[in-house]
Amino acid sequence: MPNQWTKAKETGIPYIIKDETRTKLSEHTKKLNQVRWSDPENKVRQSRSMKLAVDKFPESYTSSNRGRTKQIEYNGLKFQGNWELDFYKWCEQNKIPCIRNTRGFKYEWNGTRTYFPDFYLTNTNEYVEVKGYKTERDTCKWEQFPEKLLIILKEDIIKIRQNSFVL
């Protein structure tokens, strides 16, 4: 059943949402989420369904649904922030085949989780993680990682930007 928004879109009429309406919708969503996540069983069910989705469809786990940084598109690929883009461009400039990684690796951290490094270097069979800060969880998953893994940190990005980075 069409609503005001879809009717306006279909007819080409601009549909403007008032600030007052946006505020009400935001407050309503906050209340719904508070109720939804106040039940610990809901969190467990959500976690279980997300893990199942990642296991069944790992290709659906992309850069567009990770992290806290701004998403950037370049040459049809999506990057989470300038650091990932800088590393990718460095690989291009140095003719190092670099692809987005879609392969997940299991590790244990408060239960079984799946880790997706950022990139895969096809010539060296090496995975790459571009990381701005390191947490205890990161250290744990990196220690359990079964393949060759390169961690690109802030100091590496600085060198990339200064044209002094070497793999």
DSSP-H helix ranges across 12-153 = 19-38, 40-56, 82-93, 136-144
Which residues lie closer than 8 Å to 99 by C-beta, 6 or more apart?
119, 120, 122
pLDDT tens for each residue of 51-61: 777 777 766 65
Same domain for 82 and 138, yes or no, is yes
DSSP, collapsed to helix, strand or coil, labels residue 104 as: coil
Same domain for 77 and 145, yes or no, is yes
10 belongs to a structural domain: no
pLDDT tens for each residue of 109-167: 999 999 999 999 999 999 999 998 889 999 999 999 999 999 999 999 999 999 999 98
- Which amino acid, 62? T
Tokens of 56: 């069944």
From 56, 81, 105, the end of a domain falls on: 56
Q: What range does the domain containing 39 cover?
A: 18-56
Distance between CA atoms of 135 and 117, rounded to whole angstroms?
Answer: 15
5 belongs to a structural domain: no
Q: Which of 46, 52, 49, 73 is nearest to 62 (CA)?
A: 73
Query: What is the mean predicted confidence (pLDDT) over 49-77?
Result: 71
Same domain for 119 and 46, yes or no, is no
11 belongs to a structural domain: no
The number of domains in the chain is 2
Tokens of 156: 């590496």
